[in-house]
Amino acid sequence: MVLLHIDPSRTVGKRDPMIYGHFIEHFHRQIYGGIYDPGNPLSDAEGFRIDVIKAMQRIKTPVLRWPGGCYVSASHWKDGVGKERRPHFDKAWRVEEPNTFGTDEYIAFCRKVGCAPYICTNAGTGSAEEMSDWVEYCNLPNEGPWAKLRADNGHKDPFKVKYWSIGNENYGSWEMGAKSAEEWGRLVTESAKMMKRVDPSIELSAAALADLDWNINLLKGSGKNLSWISLHGYWDGINQTNDYANYEQSMVYTNTLDSQVAKVRGLLAAMDFGNRIRIAFDEWNLRGWYHPNVDAGLSLDEYIKPRDLNDENQRYTMADAVFTACFLSMVNRNCDIVGMANYAPVVNTRGCIYTYPKGIVLRPTYHVFDMYVNELGDTVLDTYAEAGQKLSLTDKQGKATETPALDLLATLDAQGNVVLAAINKDPAKAQDFTIDWGSSPSPSGYSIHTLSGTSTESYNDAGHDDAVPLMPTKAGYKAPDSIKLPPHSVNVIKFAK
């Protein structure tokens, strides 16, 4: 049994709401037929899906990254503004992009949701000037041709976009316009300089990874102009195979959730940026997106039609939900250095919301966001857990390993009450834990809100809701009472003083 030590006076810090952010890309049905569906009775007069907006509002989406993703590295924002849009062939995903959803539509959607925009720029085939022109279009009142164009397009007032990312995965051979570490450092230095000259108030991020050479080249020239460093993570890399890790294999991935954060934290501290540059984990999901044969497929059936398989709802089970909860607990624990995270994507593909012509499905991962966003406290406590069972598991490569059965995160809400995120990774057995409150008085009771489903394979679909949270239940409590967590479950426990 786990013994969790809690002292409400020991805090890590306050989490930034932006750790519950999201991401949307011009990939398959994420934009068109996803958040933007003109002509559908469920869409508003501007073509935005009202049901999606309401669902994103419920989980208080704080920030939405766009337009990519790999898509951005060969796209040009100027083709997607004004009355005359210029379609282009998207070399990342090998489809024609109509550009009917561009900057103006994106800003309108963010305003409807109530979230901050976070624009990722083309640092692949684009230039520093093109990036800074985009800042001008969005943020200057009327100086320069691009600000004037925005006004001519019907938007007199600036959009005031605060968050900007220079590039996306430009370290990878798969990215259009991939760069060496030296090339990247130089491009980001010049791009950041020009973008900040247009609007010194913006906060800039740049594509990075947990690599010493890459980050030294990035930070030594541009660190003074960056507020963020961007990390990405997809643990079950199945973009060519769609060979899903099963529940137990997915739990193995929770052992390495913070590895990139720990390495980049150390590097930022060593280069004396630890107090001014934070981590934006601005693309993450358990599973990579399925897009086979994008390099070599000759027919649409080879490289586009298979992408429909990303939208099989039965694939998104309690494995995804439990992993998602573990990731969110990890970024909460690292709230002193991780200030933003963006689930990739928010709609369709591997997203937490699925759209179809007559409605939406809230996948199990959506309910995890709902519980964390709307029930956990803002202040993260520095807790210590001892003992507890470890699960014996086999990873996807057939290697035996272990993982702790429980993941426990403690927070304080605005009223000073302790609220726990309590995750039981055990696929089959309930697990107990007790709490040592130290010198603090023991609470008199608690309520528990549980997401577990009937099995590890529980999923949600149209007319099939098998992985939705149970109604909260209340219980009396007196330390050292134990608390039991159902198998494969995500729980939020609120203690009463």
**What is the pLDDT at residue 46?**
98
The arithmetic mean of pLDDT across residues 190-218, rounded, is: 97
Catalytic residues: 169, 283
Cβ–Cβ under 8 Å, residues 73 and 177: yes
| Domains annotated on the chain, with CATH | 2-9+379-496 (2.60.40.1180), 16-375 (3.20.20.80)
CA pair distance 375, 382, nearest whole angstrom: 19
CA pair distance 75, 87, nearest whole angstrom: 10
What percentage of the chain has pLDDT greater than the value 90?
98
Tokens of 49: 């899906």
**pLDDT tens-digit series, residues 480-495:** 999 999 999 999 999 9
User: Alpha carbon of 280 to those of 148, 158, 403, 422: distances in Å?
Assistant: 32, 25, 26, 25
**pLDDT tens-digit series, residues 83-99:** 999 999 999 999 999 99
Reported as type and span, the H/E element at residue 300 is helix 300-303
Cβ–Cβ under 8 Å, residues 433 and 485: yes
**What is the pLDDT at residue 43?**
98
The gap between the terminal CA atoms of the chain, to the nearest Å, is 24
Cβ–Cβ under 8 Å, residues 149 and 65: no
Mean of the per-residue pLDDT values for the chain? 97
Whole-model pTM above 0.85? Answer: yes
Q: Across-strand partners of 434?
A: 3
**What is the pLDDT at residue 497?**
81
Cβ–Cβ under 8 Å, residues 302 and 341: no
CA pair distance 217, 205, nearest whole angstrom: 15
**What is the pLDDT at residue 387?**
81
The arithmetic mean of pLDDT across residues 459-484, rounded, is: 96
User: pLDDT band at 225, cuts 50/70/90?
Assistant: very high
- pLDDT of 175 > 90? The answer is yes
Reported as type and span, the H/E element at residue 128 is helix 128-139
| Cis amide bond preceding 98, omega within 30 | no
User: pLDDT band at 155, cuts 50/70/90?
Assistant: very high
Q: Across-strand partners of 263?
A: none
Closest alpha carbon to 351 in 34, 36, 62, 119: 34
The arithmetic mean of pLDDT across residues 439-457, rounded, is: 95
**What is the pLDDT at residue 388?**
85
User: Alpha carbon of 362 to those of 347, 352, 457, 465: distances in Å?
Assistant: 10, 6, 16, 9
Cβ–Cβ under 8 Å, residues 291 and 354: no
CA pair distance 449, 365, nearest whole angstrom: 15
